[in-house]
Structure 1
Amino acid sequence: MKYLQANGFSVTSFDVNDLVPLRQEYGIPMEVAGCHVARISGYLLEGHLSADEIRKLLTKKPNIMGLAIKGMPKGAPGMDGPGSEPYDVIAFQRNGATSVFASHTGSQEPPATSSDEQAPSAERERQPALEGK
C-alpha cells in the first residue's frame, strides 16, 4: 500500500482473513492468485503490480477483467531485497482466459520506487482510488 500511495494512488484497505471466497466472488482465476486483491476503475488487481502497470491499464483500457502477478516474485513492488527474478503480469478474463500483459526480465530492470518517495501532488490527485483487500 505504501508503494502505491507513494506513487500517487489513494488506497483504502480492508483486512480479510481468507481471499479465496473473495477471488471466487470476483471471478479471479486461482491460477493467477497473488497475495493482495484490489479494484480500480472497474478492473481487478491481484498481487504486487507496479504503479506503471496500473497506469498503463487505466490508459489503454483493455477489454479484460484485471491484472495479476502470481505469487510474490523478488523485485516486484513491495518485494524489495537483493536480486530480482523474471515474472509476467497476466491479464485475465472472467471465463479464465489469460494472456501476458507485460514481462519483467529480472535484475536488468531499475529498482521499484521506494515507499518513502512521494509523487508530485498533482499526480496524486489525478489517480483514481484503489480499494484493496
Structure 2
Amino acid sequence: MNYKDFQNRVDYGTQMFDAGNLQAALEAFTSLVNSDISDLDKSSMCLNIAVIYDKLGNLSLCLEWYYKAVQLEKPHCRFEAQEYLATYLKQINKPRESLKLLESVLASTHLTEAEKVRVRENIESLKVEINKPVYRRPGGPEEGSG
C-alpha cells in the first residue's frame, strides 16, 4: 500500500470515529491491520481499535486489541503500546497489573534516558496509589453497593 492511500484510510477512520460512527471507524482500522502496512503501523491501528472497543464498553475486546498492539511492536523494541496499555489498566482499576507491565518495560535495555525517566515516574505514581490506605466509615455502606 502506498503512503497516500494509507494516510487517506487512517484519516477516514479518524473522521468516522470523531463523527461517532464507530462501526465505520472499526472497519477502516481493522482493514489496515489486515493489510500490508508495517507492524508498527499495525500496532497503532490496534491501539485505535482498542479505544473504539473501550468506547463501546467492550472491555474484553478492548484489552485483546491492546495486547495485539503490544505483540506487534515488541519485536521492534518499541514500548508505546505497552505504556498505553499500562495507562488503561490503571484507568480500569488494575494498578498492580499496570505496575507489573511498566516494571517489565523499565527492565528493557532499549529505552532512551527520557523514556526511563517517564516510566520511572509512572511506576512511582502507581506505587503511591497502590499503597494508599483506604478509609471506611464504621457502619457505612459496603463497597460496591449503592
Band of TM-score, shorter chain? under 0.3
Q: TM-score, normalised by structure 2?
A: 0.25
Larger relative helix fraction = 2
Larger relative strand fraction = 1
More RCO (CA 8 Å, sep 6+): 1
Q: TM-score, normalised by structure 1?
A: 0.26
Larger Rg: 2
